[in-house]
Amino acid sequence: MTFSVSYAERDGGGACLRLAGELDLSTAPELAAAIDGLLADGETRVLLDLTDLTFCDSTGMAVFVRGDNQASADGGWLRLTGVNGRVERVLRVTGLADVLRYEPESVDPAAHSAP
């Protein structure tokens, strides 16, 4: 399955990137470039919708952490939503679910205030 990143506007501000397919060593640069572009444009609140993401390796996880670190440096955040299956399991096992303040898709993680 191919990987894609699409931009979606959010009510209440911030940017949302919808990810689909497999996020791995070969596709992680595409996500990193999308996050970098949003941050360069002054966006500091980024929500990643992972509903259609079927696979994510350590390279993809590193892009999530890097994006959150960059957004945090500017007073913002990167949050995850819509995680399921194997991707959810990896987030929980690695502890990144807590670091990236992942919430089940029934809760909008962007609603939580930034630290």
Which structural domain, as residue segments, surrounds residue 105?
4-110
DSSP H/E element including 4: strand 4-9
Share of the chain above pLDDT 90, in %: 77
* pLDDT tens, position by position, 71-100: 999 999 999 999 999 999 999 999 998 888
Task: Kindly list the distances between the CA atom of residue 2 and the CA atoms of 17, 53, 74, 79, 108, in Å, as whole numbers in the listed order.
Answer: 16, 10, 32, 23, 27
- What is the number of structural domains in the chain? 1
Is the residue at 70 inside a domain? yes
What pLDDT sits at residue 30?
A: 98
CATH of the domain at 17: 3.30.750.24
Task: Tell me the mean pLDDT in the region 43-47.
Answer: 93
Is the residue at 115 inside a domain? no
Q: Which of 14-18, 67-71, 106-110 has the lowest mean pLDDT?
A: 106-110
Kindly indicate the confidence band of residue 104, based on its pLDDT and cuts at 50, 70 and 90: low
> Using an 8 Å Cβ cutoff, are 27 and 43 in contact?
no
What is the distance between the alpha carbons of residues 74 and 72, in angstroms, rounded to a whole number?
5
